[in-house]
Amino acid sequence: MKNRLWHLISILAIAALVLAACGGAATTEAPQPTEAPKYKFALVLPNPRGDRSFIDASVRGAEKAMKELPVEGTIIEAQGIPDQEAAMRSALAQHPDIVLGLAIEPDTILGLAAEFPDQKFGVPSDIFVDKLPDNVAAFQINVHEGSFLVGLIAGSLTKTKTVGAVVGGDAPGLNQFYYAYKQGVLEACKDCKVLVSYLGFDFGNPTLGKETALGQYEQGADIIFQVAGRSGEGVLSAAQEKGLYAIGVDSNQDDIAPGHIIVSMMKRVDTSTFLLVKNALEGKFKPGFNTIGIKDGATGLSWDEGSTTFADKGPADMTATLPDTKKLVEDYRNKILNDQYVVCDALKDAASPMAECTAVK
């Protein structure tokens, strides 16, 4: 009897231990961690990439963000103005944390911002409106100071005392390049003549750019500054064809026609694109207009990045004078940085001292 009782007690004890073990496993098992979703952004381009200028610079900024930040990015290419709203809506359909619209029509950006008030929007460069809603942050890259420097270079190196500019359209943001460039030319060469041609806002037509540049070369220009997006590639091609010279814009274009592109005026849209993503990711999204310029490294020269293409490939009589030209550029750069020289800024209000553009229009 006693043996049976001990046998029963042993069975019950073992059962209790098994149940306790099972119960403990059920209550102490740690939940499996899930990976937090990455911050997402979309960049919408106004035209397909491949312009080797403004658009490609913004793409580099987006790619840098994807490489260096914990973010996922999508790049969407519009096929021109009629396709821009559809491209923006395609981006919005992916529910990104921020949508960047590069050179998208202002009405499109503002209309979508009103329709999606909880969606953050970013503009890497230039949106010409008086006011932005609370969900739109825009960067204005002040290009006038860098454009003045390339004007100094053109005025120093011209042999014919006639230089040109081929500009995408007659608007304040584009004249910010041209007026300052002309000011720089005349600062270096008081009796120089500066030709200008506007392309009617056709930024995707290299043939038009080339024909326009050839016309200026026929009028005696020997150096032309192109501010025309992909249309500007035609200007660079014309310089090579005529055995003359051009100045690139936005990205480093010195190697497109080696020995014929003296320098490129850098508009660092890659920097503004990267900063929009970084700031939003870090909770530093700042609505409204944000201005950066030469002091922030957002504009300058391809020479600043170590480009020696023209020095290596250009004609000996011109390259021999480069040391003096570079000294002139650095002297004026320091004056600008130290507020000792004022460069014409076509974007400023006419009442501002910075808008003393009458002499250079």
CA dihedral 262, 267, 273, 274 (to 10 degrees): 70
Residue ranges of domains in the chain, CATH in brackets? 39-142+271-295 (3.40.50.2300), 144-266+298-360 (3.40.50.2300)
Residue 330 CA to residue 256 CA, distance in Å, equals 25
The predicted structure's pLDDT at residue 199: 98
Q: Cβ distance 153 to 325 under 8 Å?
A: yes
Residue 221 class from Cβ within 10 Å (0-12 exposed, 13-18 middle, 19+ buried)? buried
Q: What is the pLDDT of residues 270-299, one digit of tens each?
A: 999 999 999 999 999 999 999 998 988 889
Residue 16 CA to residue 43 CA, distance in Å, equals 63
Residue 347, token pair as written in the block: 């974007």
The predicted structure's pLDDT at residue 6: 45
Residue 142 CA to residue 100 CA, distance in Å, equals 19
SS3 sequence, the chain? Answer: CHHHHHHHHHHHHHHHHHHHHHHHHHHHCCCCCCCCCCEEEEEEECCCCCCCCHHHHHHHHHHHHHHHCCEEEEEEECCCHHHHHHHHHHHHCCCCCEEEECCCCHHHHHHHHHHCCCCEEEECCCCCCCCCCCCEEEEEECCHHHHHHHHHHHHHHCCCCEEEEEECCCCHHHHHHHHHHHHHHHHHCCCCEEEEEECCCCCCCHHHHHHHHHHHHHCCCCEEEEECHHHHHHHHHHHHHHCCEEEEEECCCCCCCCCCEEEEEEECHHHHHHHHHHHHHCCCCCCEEEEECHHHCCEEEHHHHCCCHHHHHCCHHHHCCHHHHHHHHHHHHHHHHCCCCCCCCCCCCCCCHHHCCHHHC
Query: What pTM value is reported for the model?
Result: 0.79
Give the closest residue to 222 by CA, choosing from 198, 195, 197, 203: 195
The predicted structure's pLDDT at residue 125: 87
The predicted structure's pLDDT at residue 349: 62
Low-confidence ranges of the chain (pLDDT < 70): 1-37, 349-359, 361
HSE value, Cβ hemisphere, 13 Å, CA-based, for 30: 3
